[in-house]
């Protein structure tokens, strides 16, 4: 084996990342281009065995008070069981970083530490072997973190294995009963999905910003969404779930007319057979259905008047498609229209798209890692029945040890640790 460390061309890197089992959107060539557009200076570092790429990573440089950091977000991409390759890559990356004045290296590998079911019960033994492996290579493991953030990749996420599913088994065999119920309601309500053009992105930003304001988190700016749209092209799906009030009200009124016809026929039977309780029970059931339709018409009429338009956005989301997985990235929902269950229809549609394209993993992305009921998005994601995954977290390798100790001391003194 003749290994040599090098900076890869974008084409070389893209081919390798697309076929690597650890590949993810944060390590994609599109992410590399996006970082450049946003003013960063990412690098594509790799190892070749002769002319064959055997390890690689997209690396971003971040600044600190005492120097810069090499950040490997969900990287590097290599076979961690190949100890010779791992040792070579670590040594060469450290030497390269030292030459350009990097303070320390931070790896956040796309490796699972634990898997749990939807209630937080362990499915597998914690991957302490990986922590020990990285320690042997000189890395310091940072304390595990919990909680949600829009800055950086989450340390906990919720994923659904699609490898055993088909279009015919997806809904009936792999979704929870609530999701199946909500999808039927979507059909009744007439909620429609629409993929967005670039010109629709300001409206998408309005949705995500209002959601962020309501839930108290920081949203990305419009230019970010525009760059994602331009850079990821067909691999990015911006989508809206929309409701046409006029169509919906018309259909509900038609159902009221049909209910009245059924009630009139039943009333004739009740009058003719006053001792037959089954006709009275049927009458009450149809009357109850009719009242539901009347309430829906009243509610939708009020909402249309408040909106001042007949078609409204119920919910929206952004997804990134990779050969390895479909990732649910950013989204928003209007609280006033939550009872139309738009997010469930959006998720189902993108899961179906992933299955149709042979993508084996559907990543609902970030959860807090807490299963005590405090995570508001967990219940929504677990309704699609997958698994929770905690990644192995962050590993730091000092490049300038003395200066790094000063950096850590400064963080401790300033209370940032």
How far apart, in whole angstroms, are the C-alpha atoms of residue 281 and residue 269?
12
- Stated as kind and residue range, the H or E segment containing 384 is none
Do 91 and 100 form a contact (C-beta atoms < 8 A)? no
Mean pLDDT of the chain: 94
> 281, exposed or middle or buried, with CB in 10 Å at 0-12, 13-18, 19+?
exposed
pLDDT of residue 67: 86
Query: Which pLDDT tens digit goes with each residue over 197-251?
Result: 999 999 999 999 999 999 888 999 999 999 999 999 999 999 999 999 999 999 9
pLDDT of residue 66: 81
**Which of 141-155, 168-182, 320-334 shows the lowest mean pLDDT across its residues?**
141-155
pLDDT of residue 116: 96
Query: Which pLDDT tens digit goes with each residue over 15-63?
Result: 999 999 999 999 999 999 999 999 999 999 999 999 999 999 999 999 8
pLDDT of residue 147: 67
pLDDT at 152 over 80: no
Q: Which of 61, 85, 83 is nearest to 71 (CA)?
A: 61
How far apart, in whole angstroms, are the C-alpha atoms of residue 390 and residue 157?
7
pLDDT of residue 153: 83
How far apart, in whole angstroms, are the C-alpha atoms of residue 80 and residue 130?
9
How far apart, in whole angstroms, are the C-alpha atoms of residue 46 and residue 151?
26
273 DSSP 8-state letter = -
pLDDT at 150 over 60: no
Helix/strand/coil percentages in the chain, nearest 5: 45, 25, 30
Per the DSSP assignment, residues forming a β-bridge with 317 are 239, 331
pLDDT of residue 170: 87
Grade residue 151 by pLDDT with cuts at 50, 70 and 90: low
* Other residues' Cβ atoms within 10 Å of the Cβ of residue 126: 14
Q: All domains of the chain, ordered by start, with CATH?
A: 3-109+393-413 (3.40.630.30), 164-359 (3.40.630.30)
pLDDT at 416 over 90: no
* Other residues' Cβ atoms within 10 Å of the Cβ of residue 122: 10
pLDDT of residue 413: 79
pLDDT at 415 over 80: no
* Other residues' Cβ atoms within 10 Å of the Cβ of residue 322: 21
pLDDT of residue 417: 52
Per the DSSP assignment, residues forming a β-bridge with 158 are 365, 388
pTM: 0.92
- Laid out side by side, the sheet with 43-49 consists of 3-7, 43-49, 52-63, 68-73, 102-108, 395-398, 140-141
């Amino acid at each position: 084996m003749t290994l040599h460390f090098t900076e890869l061309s974008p084409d070389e890197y893209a081919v390798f990342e697309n076929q690597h089992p650890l590949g993810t959107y944060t390590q994609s060539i599109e992410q590399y281009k996006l970082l450049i557009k946003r003013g960063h200076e990412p690098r594509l570092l790799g190892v070749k065995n002769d002319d064959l790429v055997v390890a690689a990573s997209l690396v971003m440089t971040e600044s600190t008070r005492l120097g810069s950091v090499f950040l490997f977000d969900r990287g590097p991409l290599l076979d961690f069981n190949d100890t010779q390759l791992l040792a070579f890559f670590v040594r060469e990356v450290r030497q390269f970083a030292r030459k350009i004045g990097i303070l320390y290296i931070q790896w956040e590998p796309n490796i699972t530490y634990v898997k749990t079911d939807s209630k937080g019960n362990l499915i597998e033994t914690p991957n302490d072997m990986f922590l020990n492996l990285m320690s042997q290579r000189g890395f310091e493991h940072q304390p595990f973190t919990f909680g949600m953030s829009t800055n950086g990749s989450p340390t906990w996420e919720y994923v659904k294995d699609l490898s055993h599913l088909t279009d015919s088994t997806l809904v009936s065999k792999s979704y929870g009963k609530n999701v199946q119920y909500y999808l039927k309601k979507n059909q009744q309500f007439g909620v429609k999905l629409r993929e967005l053009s670039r010109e629709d992105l300001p409206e998408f930003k309005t949705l995500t910003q209002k959601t962020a304001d309501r839930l108290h988190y920081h949203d990305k700016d419009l230019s970010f969404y525009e760059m994602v749209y331009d850079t990821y092209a067909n691999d990015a799906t911006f989508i809206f779930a929309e409701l046409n009030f006029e169509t919906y009200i018309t259909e509900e009124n038609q159902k009221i007319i049909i209910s009245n016809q059924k009630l009139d026929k039943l009333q004739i039977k009740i009058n003719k057979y006053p001792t037959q309780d089954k006709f009275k029970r049927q009458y009450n059931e149809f009357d109850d259905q009719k009242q539901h339709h009347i309430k829906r018409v009243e509610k939708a009429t009020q909402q249309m008047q408040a909106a001042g338009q007949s078609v409204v956005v119920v919910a929206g989301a952004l997804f990134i498609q990779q050969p390895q997985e479909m990732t649910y990235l950013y989204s928003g929902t209007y609280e006033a229209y939550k009872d139309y269950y738009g997010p469930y229809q959006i998720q189902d549609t993108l899961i179906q798209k992933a299955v149709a394209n042979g993508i084996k993993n559907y990543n609902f992305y970030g959860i807090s890692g807490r299963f005590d009921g405090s995570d508001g998005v967990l219940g929504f994601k677990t309704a699609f029945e997958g698994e929770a995954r905690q990644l192995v977290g962050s590993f730091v390798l000092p490049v300038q040890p003395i200066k790094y100790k000063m950096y850590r001391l400064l963080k401790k003194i300033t209370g940032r640790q």
